[in-house]
Amino acid sequence: MVDGVMRTVISVDQTSKIDALFANVFGVDDEGNPMRMNLSRLNTPSPSTPIVASDSPADDEERKAILSQVTYGKGLRFANYREFHSYYRYILGTVGHISCYTRPDVSRACYYLSRFQQNPGATHYKHAIHLVKFLYKTRDKCLVFGNKNHPLYGKGLCVATDSDHAGSIDRRSTSGHVCFYEGCPIAWRSVKQKCATLGTMFSEIVAACTAAKKILYLQRLYRELGLFTGPSLFYCDNQACIKTTRNGEGVASRHLAIRATWLWEVFEVHKALTLKYIVSNDNPADIFTKYLDGTKTEHLGSLCMGSFEGKIEAWSLDCAVSRIIADG
């Protein structure tokens, strides 16, 4: 109890679902426990090797060749490409469920691989296996509500946005944003932009527009619940995007000019959001847009995720019982 107000710290995880997925993909030992393997050098949700267009099979002969390159469980082989295809979709469906609810740090890796669900190859499958291993190694990570040590604790409802210009195989950009409430992520998204952009500033404007619509929706929701007052902080790491949206002009393309003008009205006219610059190395939305090395993954992941350490009670989404304790 602090100043007459109950302070709680809650963690939300899906550890048992991750354990079940790992056991299904790699098999179990004689005692029914997941197989042991050395994961100490695994520090990113995606391998450093990029995916290229030729990684997808071009014909039935290449699809048959894939069956000799991949396994599941304890070295089992797929009977045909259809079975391999279904298993690949099962992995991404399960990881997608986990990333949607409790693991924002793997959203980009999961949804990037989901772009190839129609015609996956051996490289895509190996990336998916890598993602499952990373999830299992970091299964102690969780959402933490009430973490007073988080830099955004005490700032209410806020959002960070970023984009990766032309990073996709078809040269489309990737938008990413994460919304926080008192330092805990409550909504996040990693998605390929529907339109092609000619520069980094333009892709940032598209990403900022998507993030702004999400945070405005959350403002209305939290206002009805009596949990929101005042404008929300809006973090962006692109100076050109910030200057353009503050001025409401400077964009020649009509579809981007409309987005920039709408953002200008949100920031400068309605004062619903307060635009702030954040350096890229500290922008938590960066983890939703591109491959990052282990150091950046750990740093930005720590801004989105917590762990079971300290005075935190765990609430598992896979069980029916939740526990909450007072801090102090």
Kindly state whether residue 293 falls inside one of the protein's structural domains: yes
Tell me the residue length of the chain.
Answer: 328
Are 152 and 296 in the same domain?
yes
Q: How confident is the model at residue 326 (pLDDT cuts 50, 70, 90)?
A: very low
Are 174 and 246 in the same domain?
yes
Nearest to 272 by CA among 223, 224, 219: 219
Nearest to 167 by CA among 209, 125, 122, 197: 197
pLDDT at 320 exceeding the cut of 50: no
Kindly state whether residue 208 falls inside one of the protein's structural domains: yes
Show Cβ contacts of residue 316 under 8 Å, excluding neighbours closer than 6 positions: 12, 13, 14, 15, 16, 322
pLDDT digits (tens, 9 = 90+) for 130-161: 999 999 999 999 999 988 889 999 999 999 99
Are 154 and 299 in the same domain?
yes
pLDDT at 239 exceeding the cut of 70: yes
pLDDT at 59 exceeding the cut of 70: yes
Q: How many CA atoms lie within 13 A of 233 on its CB side?
A: 18
327: buried, middle or exposed (CB in 10 Å: 19+, 13-18, 0-12)?
middle
pLDDT at 23: 93
Q: Residue type at 129? A: I
pLDDT at 325: 33
pLDDT at 318 exceeding the cut of 60: no
Q: Which of 139, 168, 203 is the last residue of a domain?
A: 139
pLDDT at 68: 95
pLDDT digits (tens, 9 = 90+) for 148-196: 889 999 999 999 999 999 999 899 999 999 999 999 999 999 999 999 9
Nearest to 97 by CA among 80, 116, 111: 111
Kindly state whether residue 9 falls inside one of the protein's structural domains: no
pLDDT digits (tens, 9 = 90+) for 272-303: 999 999 999 999 999 999 999 999 999 999 99
Beta-bridge partner residues of 313: 10
Nearest to 221 by CA among 126, 310, 157: 157
Kindly state whether residue 311 falls inside one of the protein's structural domains: no
Q: How confident is the model at residue 74 (pLDDT cuts 50, 70, 90)?
A: confident
Nearest to 101 by CA among 28, 12, 176: 12
pLDDT at 269: 95
Q: How confident is the model at residue 310 (pLDDT cuts 50, 70, 90)?
A: very low
Q: How confident is the model at residue 315 (pLDDT cuts 50, 70, 90)?
A: very low
Are 174 and 300 in the same domain?
yes
Are 163 and 134 in the same domain?
no
pLDDT at 225 exceeding the cut of 90: yes
Kindly state whether residue 7 falls inside one of the protein's structural domains: no
Are 54 and 132 in the same domain?
yes
pTM above 0.85, yes or no: yes
Are 244 and 265 in the same domain?
yes
Are 160 and 273 in the same domain?
yes
% helix, strand, coil for the chain, step of 5:
45, 20, 40
Are 110 and 223 in the same domain?
no
Q: How confident is the model at residue 308 (pLDDT cuts 50, 70, 90)?
A: low
> Per DSSP, which regions of the chain are E strands?
8-13, 143-145, 157-164, 174-181, 184-192, 232-236, 273-277, 313-316, 325-326
Which two three-digit tokens encode residue 157?
Answer: 């409802």
Are 71 and 121 in the same domain?
yes
Are 174 and 281 in the same domain?
yes
Which two three-digit tokens encode residue 182?
Answer: 């008192």
Q: Which of 139, 167, 196 is the last residue of a domain?
A: 139
DSSP secondary-structure letter at 171? Answer: S
Q: Cα separation of 255 and 264, whole Å?
A: 15
Helix (H, G, I), strand (E, B) or coil at 107: helix
Kindly state whether residue 6 falls inside one of the protein's structural domains: no
Kindly state whether residue 322 falls inside one of the protein's structural domains: no
Are 152 and 56 in the same domain?
no
CATH number of the domain enclosing 236: 3.30.420.10
- Residue 65: give the domain boundaries: 14-139
pLDDT digits (tens, 9 = 90+) for 17-26: 999 999 999 9
Helix (H, G, I), strand (E, B) or coil at 72: strand
- Please give the average per-residue pLDDT across 11-20, as a whole number: 91
Q: How many domains does the chain have?
A: 2
pLDDT at 123 exceeding the cut of 80: yes
Kindly state whether residue 40 falls inside one of the protein's structural domains: yes
> pLDDT above 70 covers what percent of the chain?
91
